[in-house]
A and B are shown apart, each in its own frame.
Chain A
Amino acid sequence: TQLLEQSPQFLSIQEGENLTVYCNSSSVFSSLQWYRQEPGEGPVLLVTVVTGGEVKKLKRLTFQFGDARKDSSLHITAAQPGDTGLYLCAGEGSGYALNFGKGTSLLVTP
Chain B
Amino acid sequence: KAGVTQTPRYLIKTRGQQVTLSCSPISGHRSVSWYQQTPGQGLQFLFEYFSETQRNKGNFPGRFSGRQFSNSRSEMNVSTLELGDSALYLCASSDYYEQYFGPGTRLTVT
Contact = CB atoms under 8 A, between A and B. Distances in A.
Contacts of B55: 95-96
B33 interface: yes
B45 interface: yes
Interface stretch (A15-23, A35-43, A57-65, A66-74): A35-43
- Give chain B's interface residue range (CB within 8 Å of chain A): 20 to 34
B75 interface: no
B106 A88 contact: no
A9 B48 CA distance: 28
Interface of B: 4, 31, 33, 35, 42-45, 48, 50, 55-56, 58, 88, 90, 92, 94, 97-104, 106
18 contacts: A40-B104, A41-B104, A42-B4, A42-B103, A43-B90, A44-B101, A45-B99, A48-B98, A88-B43, A94-B56, A95-B55, A96-B50, A97-B45, A97-B48, A97-B56, A98-B43, A98-B45, A99-B45
Interface of A: 31, 33, 35, 40-45, 48, 88, 90, 92-103
